[in-house]
Structure 1
């Protein structure tokens, strides 16, 4: 089953957002400076992005689970979203029944 791997926040200033959210949540900078990670490892990471809209990234263990979860979520009422995917995309963009976008990520690939 998928889990919340990251929460993507649209921010206007990554440094300012990183300083705030690190202190607010007790997170620390990840290997990629766009990511804040929990110090205890038990919570989803926070992805600070100046271009993308706020959304959830749901992580699947591998491509097989990703495809099965996309089908399961569509059966629950999600819809596929037209998206300009890069050639090496490891994600599928869906919308929940209210139109909120989220991604299903192949976290193993």
Structure 2
């Protein structure tokens, strides 16, 4: 038996707004929208994607799952994402961490890692 990752679900108070924010932040395309769901992918037929699904309550605690991104230039990417509406957050990473923790407009944490040593 083989499993293939198709998408990561993200609960959102406003799936369309949050999904559009992520689509623009990642340069991904919208593949599906409805009143309660907004799905994006790197390309129309490329998975995994992110599927934003309506939930009535706002985020209340640190996310139990988050995304990590490894850019070529961490400082430039952090600055771009902050200018796009992300905000820096402290989840206990300390001052010496090699990654930067940000949150999207609904407070979902994600990390921008240092460039690969390769």
Q: TM-score, normalised by structure 2?
A: 0.44
Q: TM-score, normalised by structure 1?
A: 0.47
Higher relative contact order (CA 8 A, sep 6+): 1
Q: Which has the higher strand share?
A: 1
